[in-house]
Amino acid sequence: MIIPKTDLHALLQARHASPHAVLGMHLQTKGRSKGVVVRALLRQAGECAVVDVASGVAWPMESVSPDGMFEVFVPKRASVFRYQLRATYPGGEVRQFYDAYSFLPTLGEQDLYLFNEGNEHRIYEKLGSHLRVIEGVSGASFAVWAPAASQVSLVGNFNHWDSRYHPMRSLGASGVWEVFVPGITEGEVYKFAIRDQAGNVRLKSDPYGTYFEAPPNNASVVCDTTQFQWNDGSWLERRRAAAGQLDRAISIYEVHLGSWRRKPEDANRPLSYRELAPELADYVTEMGFTHVEFMPLAEHPFDGSWGYQVTGFFAPTHRYGHPVDFAWLIDYLHQRGIGVILDWVPAHFPRDSFALGEFDGTHLYEHADPRLGAHMDWGTLIFNYGRNEVRCFLVANALSWLERYHIDGLRVDAVASMLYLDYSREAGQWIPNKDGGRENLEAIAFLRQVNEQVHHYHPGALMIAEESTSFTGVTRAVKDGGLGFDYKWNMGWMHDMLRYFGKEPVYRKWHQNDLTFGMLYQYAENFVTVFSHDEVVHGKGSMLYKMGAWHIAEKAANLRALYAHLWAYPGKKLLFMGGEFAQSREWNHDASLDWHLCQYPDHEGVRLLVRDLNRLYVSEPVLSQNDFNSQGFRWTNCQDGEASLIAYLRHDAAEKTFFVVVGHFSGATRSKRVGVPRRGRWLEVINSNSEFYGGTGLGNQGGRETEDVACDGFDQSIELTLPPLCTLIFKWQA
């Protein structure tokens, strides 16, 4: 036996940190002879030989352990040579294959340097599993970052999950462990067996895995994400051409893929990625939305988290199909002219033992101090944004969704929780930053970095912040001191509107400020005005049932008035699925939307109104191109609380196109004079009380001519009939 006993015992106990230094072929002197020694550790093999690929000459190997350790000394060889192993297994089966320990590392020093520095923006192409052909040999490379591990092995069905048989090599101070395994093909499942410094072994899924098994196994799956043939080139070119054009029509339909529609005839299962694509595209096109926003589709073990507790950050969830099917969905939507935004969750991750938490026996991805590393609200862990490799992981993750799957933008979840060290914490539960403040300086630097990199590599892609505080400069450019987001959700306006419309009409006159307060900060950021999934869960009631009225017809009238106001008001638009047809019950992630309600006028009318509002919004540039220009908006009446009335103008810079919007939210019918800036006819382009939308039909017969009666600071005005609980939109016609 040539192998030192210490090395043999370490290999057989899966404790050897440098297996490539022992296994494989190495130059060695034996006595007075010079040659090469070859060692192999093969599970269940009874015999093994080394075969010279060039000559076919074979050298039988000596079994030095019943666990499958073989070695042989080949004399008179001055250098290593290309070889295969020929193993004989019980039953006489013979296999000949290349040795995993005969290949050089698949990561170079520059890759590792940039990763440790935090600047390898596409580290997802290096770490994780990747099908490769090396020196003409097909297989898969595996690499994982586990700097505190004492030893790491690759395990899977191919070695019966025995960590002795594919130990990985440590790539020095980088903390990365790597191995290339010939013969591994797509679909192979695997995990990493990580031994910590105390000798404990953790079986971990691949942080960079691109596909996963279903729970409870949660194993990573070798998957080639590069072979899909995309057909959306013209869409991507239009997206690049639109880079920097934030003042454009964006109306987003927020979708939870598992509950939009289901197959009741097939155990009520959700639609797959491919089944969903044509149905969703048809519906979104009919409804006039410009984009869909999917709630998180990265892999997650628990359905009830709605995707917000991610364990596979680089993998579309297995629930609806293969990653290629997910790519097919995006490609199809792009070909239909529909943009795709994905909910992205870099603020936290769950504590599941197979995932990122205490990955190598230390707090690797998360802060060790719970005052920094534990999320108080969700029981999750917070990323250590100050660690270069963690930032690298997250930046690369954002880029991977845009590059592998052509996503058009990311809605970044829970930004407020990232910005503040004291978010949802009491005194003594948080640690101030180095300047003594409450801002999370490392998270702020990370957000700036990821926004800059996304915009650098993918001009036209959108970064949208779900941020609910008054943090300054969320949508200001990084070079100007901002965070660099394109848009920010307008949570304040949403809360004001729901508080106002949740009151019965008789009480609204004392709450006029809810209608007007939002304009004080409207132009401080680039806002998306939202009614999202968060507003229709956890006992908050559906959008319809939030409305302050007793009867469904009155609730529907309130909701139509609210939606018409939303679409006319400055800001991009977002509406969660089901809200567009006034679903009665709260959203349930385990069931389909209640599409049968569309047979009733109170529900179908709301849907038709949303459709027409989208069409008006997209076709009239004034309603989108002036969203961030305060000169394009003017209150004409914001003080008539007694009548629960507001009126405002939307117009272009040249003042050639005007819309006047009148919201009348009391329960009475009124005749009211409204001042307008131009003489002529004002066409009634939207009346939320139209019979077509389920209303009474009371309105203004398609429009009104101006009269030379001064009102609201103008020399002319129009006399309007204001139905109860309605919003009217008029367009000036010279």
CA distances from 192 to 115, 142, 143, 365, 664 (A): 20, 9, 9, 16, 63
How many Å separate Cα 463 from the centre of its chain? 11
| 164 and 41 Cβ atoms separated by less than 8 Å | yes
Residue 343: active-site member: no
Determine how many CB atoms are found less than 10 A away from the CB of residue 27: 12
Q: How far apart are CA 503 and CA 546, in angstroms?
A: 9
Q: How far apart are CA 327 and CA 56, in angstroms?
A: 45
The pair of structure tokens assigned to 36 is: 């090469």
Q: Is 54 exposed, middle or buried (0-12, 13-18, 19+ CB in 10 A)?
A: exposed
Task: Report which of 557, 560, 541, 538 is spatially closest to residue 549, judged by C-alpha positions.
Answer: 557
Q: How far apart are CA 613 and CA 605, in angstroms?
A: 12
46: amino acid identity, one letter: G
CA distances from 381 to 349, 355, 417, 610 (A): 5, 11, 12, 39
* Catalytic site residue from 188, 413, 612, 620: 413
Residue 711 makes CB contacts below 8 A (sequence gap 6+) with 673, 674, 675, 717
* Catalytic site residue from 466, 580, 602, 627: 466
CB hemisphere CA count around 430 (13 angstroms):
20
Reply yes or no: is the peptide bond before residue 278 cis, omega within 30 of 0. Answer: no
| 46 and 66 Cβ atoms separated by less than 8 Å | no
**Residue 496, H or E segment:** helix 491-501
The pair of structure tokens assigned to 614 is: 């989208």
Residue 413: active-site member: yes
Task: Considering only the C-alpha atoms of the chain, give the largest distance between any 2 of them, rounded to a whole number of Å.
Answer: 115
**Residue 299, H or E segment:** strand 298-299
Task: Report which of 296, 132, 308, 316 is spatially closest to residue 212, judged by C-alpha positions.
Answer: 316
Residues annotated as part of the active site? 413, 466
